[in-house]
Amino acid sequence: MTPKKRIWATLDDYAMPGAGVECVGRSMANGFFFEALMRHGTFDEYHFFLSNGAHRTGFMEQHGALLAELGVAPKIRLWDRLDLPHALGHIEYTVFHQSDHIAWFNALCRLRNSLGSSVPVTSFIHSVSYQRHMTTYLEMLHCGVTQNDAIICSSQCGKHVVQNCLTSLATQMNLAPASLRFEVIPLGIGQGIRTVDKTEARQRLGLSPQETIALCFGRFSDFDKMDLFPLLQAMAKVVPEGSSRRLVLAGALHEPSYLEMTQAWTRAMGLLDHVTFVTDPSDDAKSDLYSAADFFVSLADNVQETFGLTLVEAMQAGLPLLVSDFDGYRELCDDSVGVRVPTCWSPIETFHDAQPIMDDRTLHRLVAQQTSVDIPALTQGLDTLFSDTEARRRMGQAARKRFDTHFTHERIIRTLEMLWNDLKLGYVPVETKPDPMAMRLFDTFGHYVTFNLTPQAQVKATEFGSRLVHAQHHYPLLAGMGDMVDWPTVVGLVTAAVEPVTLNTLETASSLPQWKTQYIIAWMLKHDLLSLERAK
């Protein structure tokens, strides 16, 4: 083993979506986390196991400037995924952390167990409302996840969802309960919302300095965020003629047709003079919006929502909250910082029966459309926050204090590092056994080929291979193959195989890991650089 350092590792790249790709809360949260870890983390090294060379290049293109700015670039090591088994066997990792609990969490735990490594595996949760997650939860119950591992939940509500799923499966399948740990650590933000002078912000946005402004910020999407129609219904009740009250609806335009419907209904309700729409605001415009507002409104009605990052942004900006009493919103907003509006729905058994065969988009929309906020309570909350300057001041101050106490990046990373250190120090060895979920491709498909190469097989450089090497030419490599085929090794193998030689001899003499030399030899046979010596 290498000398003990504190080393954090992951399979994720924490890349933000490219141009034209929707950026949802999960992407934002992961981006915030990566910057926070690089800025405030105290690990000696950070290892990223990525798919191939292009993936590693993309990682540096996205993050290189930040890493250089923070002075942490020397701590970064980028690996190929195929290097992971060797690394787990030779490096004492503090923790492997994944950005979500679905994609690779279980597989990492099983690989760890199969190699006898002693690294805890942790992950965040994001949206937890997808039927397909149930198969992943079933794996968690009997395929490698242990008491050394933890799912980190942004809210108690999200934690209870995952636990409810695991409990239901364990009960119905007669399996032992899941042994992994659950920890609740909220999401945080750094310098996301800049403090801007209110008057100047309103001037840039074309908003009156005399108005009282409510801001609702989120994706324009009813199926995975919230339906704005109930808010418009309540707004119509609190804006008498000549009123200086304004609602600003702002956010990413994910569903143009939904925005068009919302604008049409705003017109039909006679609210055009009191409602402003802002789509796809820049980061600077976003800061202006929060600075221009007097309070923040968000009426989550969708089980896809787990936490509520925009509420944290609003508290950072010192805004009182008016929110639905729903999911993680309930934990972010108490009476000191805002008003919660009661919610209800009707449990319909047909949805339970049909959920496994429904598409996520339709299911989320249908459930959200029968999830109600109390319109009279919402109306009263709007009226109070529009009219009571002192209440807004008091709640806004409490909101900013709550942010500073619970949601700064420095605090979040410190809490995470305490958890990771605790898991590592308390690691309980587990039985070393093969991964039962691994397909084992060469065993499963072994009957496809005529025969397997063995260490005793003999190969010899072909005339073509010798000519190519002698002329110092390169053989063309397909995209991504440069990560696997090291050309100096190819040259060395051709030279070493001028006369027939066994694969074992070539692999033993190579400075590369045995598996990689084995792969290169097989590739050379495919491309006529080596040939098999047939038994006579």
Can you tell me the mean pLDDT for 359-388? 95
76-129 pLDDT, tens digit each: 999 999 999 999 999 999 999 999 999 999 999 999 999 999 999 999 999 999
Q: 277 to each of 72, 218, 247, 503, how far by Cα in Å?
A: 41, 12, 9, 68
451-473 pLDDT, tens digit each: 999 999 999 999 999 999 999 99
Contact, 166 vs 106, CB < 8 A? Answer: no
pLDDT over 90, % of the chain:
85
Helix or strand holding residue 151 (H, E): strand 150-153
End-to-end CA distance of the chain: 46
Domains and CATH numbers, the chain: 7-189+415-425 (3.40.50), 198-403 (3.40.50.2000), 441-532 (no CATH)
Q: How confident is the model at residue 195 (pLDDT cuts 50, 70, 90)?
A: confident
pTM, two decimal places: 0.90
427-436 pLDDT, tens digit each: 998 888 888 8
Distance from C-alpha of 536 to C-alpha of 533, rounded to nearest angstrom: 9
Q: How confident is the model at residue 20 (pLDDT cuts 50, 70, 90)?
A: very low
Evaluate if residue 21 carries a pLDDT over 50: no
β-partners of residue 359 are none
Query: Residue 322: what residue type?
Result: L
Angle, helix 105-115 to helix 133-142, in steps of 10 degrees: 20
**Close Cβ partners of 214 (under 8 Å, ≥ 6 residues apart):** 245, 246, 247, 248, 293, 294, 295, 296, 297, 322, 382, 385, 386
Q: How confident is the model at residue 536 (pLDDT cuts 50, 70, 90)?
A: low
Contact, 255 vs 226, CB < 8 A? Answer: no
3-state percent helix, strand, coil for the chain, nearest multiple of 5? 45, 15, 40
